[in-house]
Amino acid sequence: MYKEYKTITDVVGPLMVITGVEGAKYNELVEIEQVSGERYKAKVLEVDGDRAVVQLFENTRGLNISSSKARFLGKGLELGVSKDLLGRSFNGMGNPIDGGGKILASKNIDINGSPLNPCARDFPNEFIQTGVSAIDGLNTLVRGQKLPIFSASGLPHAQLAAQIARQATVLNSDNFAVVFAAVGITHEEADYFIQDFNRTGTLERATLFINLASDPAIERIATPRMALTAAEYLAYDLGMQVLVIITDITNYAESLREVSAARKEIPGRRGYPGYMYTDLASLYERAGKIKGQPGSITQIPILTMPEDDKAHPIPDLTGYITEGQIILSRTLHQKNCVPPIDVLPSLSRLKDKGIGVGKTREDHADTMNQLFSCYAIGKESKELAAILGDAALTETDRKFAIFADEFEKQYISQGFTTNRSIEETLNLGWELLRILPKSELKRVKQALLDKYY
């Protein structure tokens, strides 16, 4: 028996205050019904004695609180799941938008998830191939890892996200799926993602959750949780290797700030709520592998850094929680380098665990270290030439400068349609290293030099 109340006292923006409430729970689902029969969904944000603050998922315009009644449903927001999730597109609330009708759910799962026992986590150590050399070769993605992409306004992170979704795979496994969550995007971006997934056949192994910028803020907060709930079902119930891509976390954080301001909470850094770290962690920490489970969840959250500032609270807090970051460069973008991944400040903290014999190739670690080193020296040589002129460079310095240019043109700039295997990426690395004298390759074992150089 649901509890109903006609004690709605106030509405401020998307927030509603209900008094005289008994037994309300945080995140509990609430249904608001008008005399006309029109119904609104909401969830409990705060409970103080017999007073509950709820947030509506729809616009409150035209809502008559004097005649409306609130019904507390005794459960949180849920997503109906089944194996039919794959190949489908949903809005941010989990409702189909592809004209395919509702999912015949095998069960309903609370989208807020359950905390994982840290002792049950298995250590990520298996390579995921994205087909992007700057990631596979130098900042390797590992199954069960959370590796964000730090972008900036105007950079092509949407195209990179679509490319990774299209190309990513776990070697020697066909049981792979992609869950793609677009948070607060424009209609043009939504059309781009849907058309790209359909045109390339990616949708057959994917589930899309699309939330538009015009949708309510509360839906933006629910969208990544919907996606992660679908991913957990695919991974832990069906045993699949699932890659979750969420774009854009900055829009999600802005919605958190909007809701926090409506609740008149004391703001933290730059006006964001003080609990944003905990909130982001509740998303990111749902990635991983569980001991004894064949499936896994790997996560690539994408965020745009406001004002290109890596110290901004959103990238700063994300960096604390996740295992590294892939950084897109405005300078490389201006050079028409596609994708514009700046490999030197980028980092995958688990890259050493997913490479080597039986995973990629025996020379991967040494090749990676040597490419990093040579590219850094080459950039320094180019900076020196810009200040003192080419005459100030030695013959070796000139070769390093040539290497840096060719590395950007061939290795990093592969385009958004080229899908390179790890073998092709490693072979290309050796091809570039041959620009330099063998004596300068000091980070590669002699046996590997003899075999591959």
Number of structural domains found in the chain = 3
**For residues 366 and 383, is the Cβ–Cβ distance under 8 A?**
no
- Considering the domain architecture, whether residues 133 and 181 belong to the same structural domain is answered as yes
Phi then psi dihedrals of residue 339, to 5 deg: -75, 150
- Considering the domain architecture, whether residues 115 and 60 belong to the same structural domain is answered as no
Reply yes or no on whether the pLDDT at 1 is more than 70. no
436 vs 4: CA distance, rounded Å:
76
Q: Are strands 206-212 and 88-91 parallel, antiparallel or unpaired?
A: parallel
Asked if residue 372 is part of any domain, the answer here is yes
- Give the domain-ending residue among 72, 95, 120: 72
pTM of the shown model: 0.93
| Average per-residue pLDDT for the chain | 92
3-state secondary structure string across 117-141: CHHHEECCCCEEECCCHHHHCCCCE
- Considering the domain architecture, whether residues 159 and 125 belong to the same structural domain is answered as yes
DSSP annotation of 146: B
Asked if residue 160 is part of any domain, the answer here is yes
Confidence of residue 40 (pLDDT cuts 50, 70, 90): confident
Reply yes or no on whether the pLDDT at 392 is more than 90. no
353 vs 394: CA distance, rounded Å:
38
- Considering the domain architecture, whether residues 132 and 160 belong to the same structural domain is answered as yes
Q: For residue 61, what is the domain's CATH number?
A: 2.40.10.170
Confidence of residue 117 (pLDDT cuts 50, 70, 90): confident
- Considering the domain architecture, whether residues 347 and 376 belong to the same structural domain is answered as no
- Considering the domain architecture, whether residues 32 and 161 belong to the same structural domain is answered as no
445 vs 360: CA distance, rounded Å:
17
Confidence of residue 39 (pLDDT cuts 50, 70, 90): confident
Strands in 111-270 per DSSP E: 121-122, 127-129, 141-142, 149-151, 169-170, 176-185, 206-212, 241-247
119: domain range?
78-353
Reply yes or no on whether the pLDDT at 262 is more than 90. no
Q: pLDDT for 280-338, tens place per residue? A: 999 999 999 999 999 999 999 999 999 999 999 999 999 999 999 999 999 999 999 99
Amino acid (1-letter code) at residue 437: P
144 vs 128: CA distance, rounded Å:
10
Asked if residue 14 is part of any domain, the answer here is yes
Asked if residue 221 is part of any domain, the answer here is yes
Q: For residue 245, what is the domain's CATH number?
A: 3.40.50.12240
Task: Read off the pLDDT of each residue in 105-117 and give the average, rounded to a whole number.
Answer: 88
Confidence of residue 275 (pLDDT cuts 50, 70, 90): very high
- Considering the domain architecture, whether residues 82 and 127 belong to the same structural domain is answered as yes
Amino acid (1-letter code) at residue 270: R
Q: pLDDT for 420-451, tens place per residue? A: 999 999 999 999 999 999 999 999 999 999 99
Q: pLDDT for 374-387, tens place per residue? A: 999 999 999 988 88
**Cβ-Cβ contacts under 8 Å for 170 (sequence gap 6 or more):** 126, 127, 128, 129, 143, 176, 241
- Considering the domain architecture, whether residues 308 and 426 belong to the same structural domain is answered as no
Reply yes or no on whether the pLDDT at 265 is more than 90. no
What's residue 236's pLDDT?
94
Rg for the chain, CA atoms, rounded: 25
What's residue 98's pLDDT?
92
**For residues 125 and 216, is the Cβ–Cβ distance under 8 A?**
no
What's residue 206's pLDDT?
96
- Give the domain-ending residue among 334, 353, 372: 353
Inter-CA distances, 98 with 196, 230, 396, Å? 14, 17, 58
Mutual orientation of helices 157-167 and 187-200 as an angle, nearest 10°?
20
Asked if residue 321 is part of any domain, the answer here is yes
267 vs 275: CA distance, rounded Å:
10
228 vs 363: CA distance, rounded Å:
35
Reply yes or no on whether the pLDDT at 58 is more than 80. no
| More confident: 340 or 22 | 340
Neighbouring C-beta atoms of residue 237, cutoff 10 Å: 16
What is the percentage of the chain residues whose pLDDT exceeds 70? Answer: 100
Reply yes or no on whether the pLDDT at 108 is more than 90. yes
What's residue 116's pLDDT?
80
| More confident: 216 or 95 | 95
Q: Are strands 69-72 and 15-18 parallel, antiparallel or unpaired?
A: unpaired
Reply yes or no on whether the pLDDT at 61 is more than 80. no
Asked if residue 267 is part of any domain, the answer here is yes
Asked if residue 202 is part of any domain, the answer here is yes
- Considering the domain architecture, whether residues 403 and 335 belong to the same structural domain is answered as no
Task: Read off the pLDDT of each residue in 18-32 and give the average, rounded to a whole number.
Answer: 89
- Considering the domain architecture, whether residues 348 and 429 belong to the same structural domain is answered as no
Phi then psi dihedrals of residue 130, to 5 deg: -95, -15
**Cβ-Cβ contacts under 8 Å for 13 (sequence gap 6 or more):** 60, 262
- Considering the domain architecture, whether residues 268 and 374 belong to the same structural domain is answered as no
DSSP for 303-369 reads EE-GGG-TTSHHHHHHHHHSSEEEEB-HHHHHTT-SS-B-TTT-EETTGGGS-STTTS-TTHHHHHH
- Considering the domain architecture, whether residues 375 and 401 belong to the same structural domain is answered as yes
Place of tokens 């066909």: 174
Q: Is the dihedral of CA 431, 348, 345, 338 positive or negative?
A: positive
DSSP annotation of 390: G
- Give the domain-ending residue among 20, 48, 72: 72
Asked if residue 358 is part of any domain, the answer here is no
Q: Are strands 8-12 and 15-18 parallel, antiparallel or unpaired?
A: antiparallel
Instruction: Count the helices and strands in the chain (H runs, E runs).
Output: 12, 22
